[in-house]
Chain A
Amino acid sequence: MSRFLSFLVTSGLAAVTATAVAFAQTKPIPQAPRDLGIGRVATPEEIAGWDIDVRPDGVGLPVGKGTVKAGEALYVERCAACHGEFGESAGRWPILSGGEGTLSGHDPVKSIGSYWPYASTVIDYVRRAMPYGNAQSLTNDELYAVTAYVLSLSDIIKDENFELNEKNFTSLKLPNEPNFFDDDRETSEKAFWKKEPCMTNCVSESAKVVGRARALDVTPEEGKGPKVE
């Protein structure tokens, strides 16, 4: 090894590591006057056009109604091509139903019925994002009908004549709600705050390769990629 190399490897680098400069980028936020006089008041009409969110307690539910039966026709026409007639998915599009009892197994299937905690998430999401490629196109009545049908696919609603509306919506409960809990990593994974990690002879026997990416061979090939002009 050349003198230069051995210097780098044995001494120099350690010293640089120890003194690596940390640059602060959290200088105090500029003190703006509370009122900059920038922006204008949003009108109630403007807000109403964009304020489409729905919460589990029913806040934000639009006024409307629709039955499971009415929803079925709509679903077959506008949703089934991707999500399957019974929410089982056509091809690789997301499933909407099934998977009950699989969450603790090796192959968990997360659907509205098996995983989602709140029914309000269904109506909120379909309202903002579905049908895929033609979002925000359903009328409020269509929205209630198709939501009722989607929930019936997971047996959340059992009667096909049931009419879902903004008044009875919050009576719907999804079974998996109790199985969610807030982030607790700082206590449950406290062991990862080690302070002084092991540096030498951390494992007694030498390392053995126990798995290889190549065994699966699913990596896109080099040279293959989107066109660049």
Chain B
Amino acid sequence: MVDNPDDPRFASRRAFLRSGLVASGAAALGGSLPARAETVGNPANLPPNVPDWSRFLGEGVGVRAYGKPSQHEANVIRRDVEWLTASRESSVSFTPLHELDGPITPNGLCFERHHGGIAEVNPTDYRLMLHGLVEKPLIFTLDDIKRMPRVNRAYFCECAANSGMEWRGAQLNGCQFTHGMIHSVMYTGVPLKILLEQAGVKPNAKWLLLEGGDAAAMTRSLPLQKALEDTLVAYRMNGEMLRPENGYPVRMVVPGWEANMWVKWIRRIEVGDQPWHHREETSKYTDLLEGGKARRFTYVMDAKSVITNPSPQAPLNHKRGFTVLAGLAWSGRGKVQRVDVSLDGGRNWQAARLDGPVWDKALTRFYYEFDWDGRELLLQSRAMDETGYVQPTKAELRQVRGVNSIYHNNGIQTWHVRSSGEVENVEVS
């Protein structure tokens, strides 16, 4: 069985699956359907033949005690860009957005960003310390946290540097790389407000310091107001315990705000009266503007969207006919209200269809269905949120921010679709 993508047999099989288009069949079907290519692996599996899987027993229960995706989906993985960072332990891997649908990201595909590698925390020895400007400094075990009142909320988590490589122009050819530093999962956790109430916050408190238990001891300053509003101390994602790479056993969830604030492996929360100005809010995660000044504490992720299919890693192989554009939209300021789609590089727009739940500060799925005549397309999507914020073009964004800010690039993405169905990341005038 070949389920290792590094195995040459796998590569050739994939290539065969992709190129093995046969233009037969369709003609025999008669006039109602246009000639259409069909992908064929092994003809012995196709009607009128009966494939092996219809005849012989498969593996029984328990063989796959923790289930994994089909071996044929082995290419659906997080990927990284090797030249981006000096070390794998302080680096990023990207969510394969073009291989997913719906509004929820599977746990094993959520992008990773670590500053000191994955902390392997033993849950028995996990402790959360809460101290500073409080009546009573406290320590919680994992069991303590799990005993508290809890809520379930789906939120997107987007790295502020998502699309950061694209400020100066189209660079990476695939939405996994241009937009893949985002995921959206259903968290189970305790509102931070409840934890703070246990300790009793003093009246002069204004800020919190969030600190991770990893080898980078990641810290960020969080305004107390946000802590009381909707911040969670979460321990589950999509029902199961957090994955180690996503902060097991406990992480912060700071809805709508840049992912760097969602401190993983949270070990300590200190209550104070001013921000700490730590490395991740000075050297990093500040937005350098034209003229040399820098904006800081730019927490909110502005409304943004991207067409995930087609995109450079997911070409339009059917060449022409009924076509579904699928994409994701989100806003750190609230719910997505509307998404428009353009086929001509932003000259004309049509409303897309939002489908599935439209949650506050979560990924929202949109579709646009049309009949493609095989013409070249310049695809764009434009999100609008419930505050009336409209996702700007890249040109509009550069005009107010320059090209040096690295972070918070929420400009409209363009995909060039050729008649062949090939797709490329481009910029248009």
Contact = CB atoms under 8 A, between A and B. Distances in A.
Contacts of B216: 128-129, 135
A199 B348 CA distance: 6
A73 interface: no
B171 A207 contact: no
Interface string B208-236: 01010001110100000000001000000
A184 to B, nearest CB: 7
B151 A212 contact: no
Interface string B242-278: 0000000000000000000000000110101010111
B40 interface: no
A210 B293 CA distance: 29
B59 interface: no
Contacts of B77: 225-226, 228
A170 B349 CA distance: 56
A171 interface: no
Contacts of A13: 351, 353, 368-369
Interface in A117-150: 117-118, 120-121, 124-125, 128-129, 132-133, 135-136
A183 B297 contact: yes
A133 B215 contact: yes
A65 to B, nearest CB: 23
Contacts of B312: 213, 219
Interface string B359-401: 1101000001111000000100010100111101000100010
B351 A14 contact: yes
Contacts of A192: 302, 389-390, 392, 396
Contacts of B80: 220, 225-226
A117 B277 contact: yes
B360 A46 contact: no
A197 B360 contact: no
Contact of A183 (B177, B299, B349, B389): B299
A108 B400 CA distance: 17
B93 A226 contact: yes
Contacts of B238: none
Nearest to B294: A180
Interface in A20-40: 20-27, 29-30, 32, 34-36, 38-40
B219 A53 contact: yes
B419 interface: no
Of the listed residues B89, B288, B347, B348, the one surrounded by the most CB atoms of chain A closer than 10 A to its CB is B347
Contacts of B151: 27, 29-30
B218 to A, nearest CB: 8
Interface stretch (B20-28, B41-49, B50-58, B137-145): B137-145
12 contacts: A16-B354, A17-B351, A38-B147, A56-B277, A115-B294, A132-B116, A135-B217, A192-B390, A214-B424, A219-B312, A223-B11, A225-B78
Given A5-B371, A8-B369, A13-B369, 6 more contacts: A30-B149, A42-B137, A53-B209, A185-B298, A209-B427, A219-B172
